């Protein structure tokens, strides 16, 4: 099952996503955050401290679709998160020669081959309209990416104030929802 976890900053979405991955299957964690300053380095440190020691962590530096495709068969996949990855791409560190919509296409194609994945992304469209073109482009691309990933997922959960609310669950084979 592919699950998208959405929420605002500090909403509890990452902790909730991690809680979904208990069990005997190995977990590959694709981390997209980069320690660009002391505050971000501290956030990364807290995430690392919370994770089970046995999880394989891959620091993704731009090529998220390649990292997804390289996940060994039988592993559960956690991607945390799409918006940090998108920000890296918009800073100019993405795959060369590929427009933003091509990045999303490649990630979506890779996710089709990852049937057991939990994907974390920020919901960025609920605030004010940003005052600069780059921030507006980021917000628009993040919204479009979230919509496309949500459509490709079996389940979508919105986390607000640490409370998960399921907003989509695909019907199971033979049953309706």
Active site residues: 47
Half-sphere exposure of 168 (CA within 13 A, CB side): 16
What 3-state DSSP class applies to 51?
coil
Q: How many CB atoms lie within 10 A of CB 125?
A: 12
**CA 45, CA 66: separation in Å to the nearest integer?**
25
Helix axes 100-112, 133-152, angle to 10 degrees: 20
What 3-state DSSP class applies to 118?
strand
């Amino acid at each position: 099952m592919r699950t998208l976890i959405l929420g605002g900053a500090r909403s509890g979405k990452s902790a909730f996503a991690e809680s979904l991955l208990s069990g005997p299957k190995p977990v590959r964690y694709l981390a997209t955050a980069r320690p660009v300053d002391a505050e971000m380095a501290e956030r990364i440190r807290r995430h690392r401290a919370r994770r089970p020691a046995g999880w394989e962590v891959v620091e993704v530096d731009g090529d998220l679709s390649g990292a997804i495709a390289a996940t060994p068969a039988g592993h559960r996949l956690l991607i945390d998160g799409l918006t940090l990855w998108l920000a890296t791409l918009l800073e100019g560190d993405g795959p060369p020669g590929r427009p933003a919509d091509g990045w999303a296409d490649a990630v979506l194609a890779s996710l089709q081959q990852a049937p057991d994945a939990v994907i974390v992304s920020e919901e960025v469209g609920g605030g004010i309209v940003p005052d600069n073109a780059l921030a507006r482009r980021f917000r628009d691309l993040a919204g479009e990416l979230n919509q496309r990933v949500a459509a490709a997922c079996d389940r979508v959960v919105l986390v607000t104030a640490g409370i998960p609310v399921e907003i989509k669950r695909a019907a199971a084979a033979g049953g309706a929802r």
